[in-house]
Amino acid sequence: MGKSDKKRILLKIGSNVLTKETNHISKGKIEDIANQISVLQDQYEFVIVSSGAIAAAKQFVNLDGKEVTVKQALAAIGQPRLMRIYQDIFKDAGLFTSQCLLSYSDFEKEQSKENIVNTINVLVENNYIPIINENDTVATDEIKFGDNDKLGALTAALLNVDLFLIATNTNGIYTKESMAENEVSTIKSTSDISALKNEIEVSISTHGTGGMTTKIQAAEIAQNTNIETWIVNGLNDNFIIDAIKNKIDFTKITTK
Ligand SMILES: Nc1ncnc2c1ncn2[C@@H]1O[C@H](COP(=O)(O)OP(=O)(O)O)[C@@H](O)[C@H]1O
Ligand SMILES: N[C@@H](CCC(=O)OP(=O)(O)O)C(=O)O
């Protein structure tokens, strides 16, 4: 089978977006993503890195304790539930889904890397959208640090995608001045990762999360393999299409 001439997008969707900042998975958000993929599918093919396993479990089960093993158990309970929600909603939009569970260490072994690429290529060629999450039973990196950004970047680099799109809950990366003044202003385009890191240092304490730091590290991994990263507000409907059409503010981290 020949390689398609479609542009390949690695779409990373964080728990904040998937839950629309509530305590349950938003079917409306998954519908929004499915509808956009269906509109774009003639020109773009998608590989998804999706968080949300723990959130999907928490909405119906309560396990005692806050330690990592409890989170791992919650992820094991929630992952099939999350996948069923994806499968049902994507099917209604005429799309097929598949699940791949990966961990960082898989990206350190040549054989595993080759196997990942081959499997994902067959899935995509046959129109089964791969939905990737960390294999939380065997690896705890992402649930310890609370983000799938690095997993998204490693996958984007391994697959040599055309675009790495991180869907989060802000209109991209804001300048530290604008955050301090409470009138946020998006950094629209830059290739200067170290300058971006400086913007964030102060902003983290303002907002009290390290969320953007891991996104910038992820963008750096992508940039090192010549891939552009877009950080887009996934809470808004139609965010992928609107970003492609340049109708919304978001941050582009361009290649050097
Ligand atoms: N300069 C900045 N611009 C935008 N958001 C920032 C900045 N610095 C820190 N943040 C924080 O990063 C958060 C996004 O990261 P995170 O909470 O990990 O989301 P996700 O679940 O999408 O991975 C924002 O909601 C914001 O609180
Ligand atoms: N892999 C886990 C946790 C990953 C996580 O929380 O990441 P993110 O929402 O991207 O910051 C899950 O699916 O719940």
The tens-digit pLDDT sequence of the chain (256 residues) is 446 899 999 999 998 999 999 999 999 999 999 999 999 999 999 999 999 999 999 999 999 988 889 999 999 999 999 999 999 999 999 999 999 999 988 999 999 999 999 999 999 999 999 999 999 999 887 777 657 999 999 999 999 999 999 999 999 999 988 988 889 999 999 999 999 998 875 444 433 344 788 999 999 999 999 999 999 999 999 999 999 999 999 999 999 9
Query: Ligand 1 pocket, 173 CB below 6 A?
Result: yes
Number of CB atoms found within 10 A of residue 28's CB: 11
44 C-alpha to center of ligand 1: Å?
27
Query: Ligand 1 pocket, 174 CB below 6 A?
Result: yes
- How far is it, in rounded angstroms, from Cα 92 to Cα 96? 9
Give the position, in ligand 2's atom list, of the atom nearest the Cα of 82: 13
Q: Are 190 and 230 in contact (CB under 8 A)?
A: no
Q: Is 148 annotated as a binding residue?
A: yes
Sign of the torsion angle spanned by Cα atoms 244, 249, 250, 253:
positive
215 C-alpha to center of ligand 1: Å?
8
**Ramachandran sector of residue 193 (left: φ over 0; alpha: ψ -120 to 50; beta: rest):** alpha
- Could you write out the DSSP letters of every residue in 196-217? HHHHHHHHHHHHT--HHHHHHH
Q: Is 214 annotated as a binding residue?
A: yes
Closest CA to 118 of 151, 159, 152: 159
- Could you write out the DSSP letters of every residue in 140-169? -HHHHHT--HHHHHHHHHHHT-SEEEEEES
- In order of their start, the domains of the chain are 7-253 (3.40.1160.10)
Closest CA to 227 of 165, 162, 172, 166: 162
